[in-house]
Amino acid sequence: MVFILGTLLPDAHCVHFALQRFYGVGPVVSSRICARFQIHSKLKVSQLSQQQIVGLQSFLAAPQTSATLPSFPRAAPDYQPPPAGTQLPPYPVTPETPEDTLRNMRFEGELRRTMRENIAHHKNIGSYVGRRHATGLPVRGQNTRNNAVTARKLNRIERRA
């Protein structure tokens, strides 16, 4: 059993699926995290090395402070390797690096806090979305005609008598 940020990852599960126990990590983000740490898709949690566990812990705790990945250019389809024994030119360092989407991710408590703040902001400015959140009704246009009785029972604000 591995504990990462207070979440239990069972030994028998594949790492790809075990990472999805974290709030905010789905299948796509999980596969990107595994690719970042060079973890293949069939690796079990019990087979993780200590270095990989520490890397996952540090990344999930603070993705913004994690080390950037090196950028290696891909060869063109018509690329011909130089003959054996020739001196290769020095590797060109390009200043532009592709955007690392995982650096801007939020997980667990930080994501929950951000969502709570966004809902509170909508309520404070009095927008339609904020009013729907306050009354406990669907926010994104779902039907309430057939579910009106249940919605009235579950509303969180007082109605006039």
pLDDT band at 125; cut points 50, 70, 90: very high
Q: What is the pLDDT of residue 161?
A: 46
Q: What is the mean pLDDT of residues 91-107?
A: 72
Contact 22, 108 (CB under 8 A): yes
Q: What is the pLDDT of residue 95?
A: 59
Q: 51 burial class (0-12, 13-18, 19+ CB within 10 angstroms)?
A: exposed
In this prediction the pTM is 0.66
What are the structural domains, with CATH classification, of the chain? 2-67+101-106 (1.10.8.50)
| Residue 92 predicted with pLDDT over 70 | no
Q: Which residue would you say has higher pLDDT here, 53 or 159?
A: 53
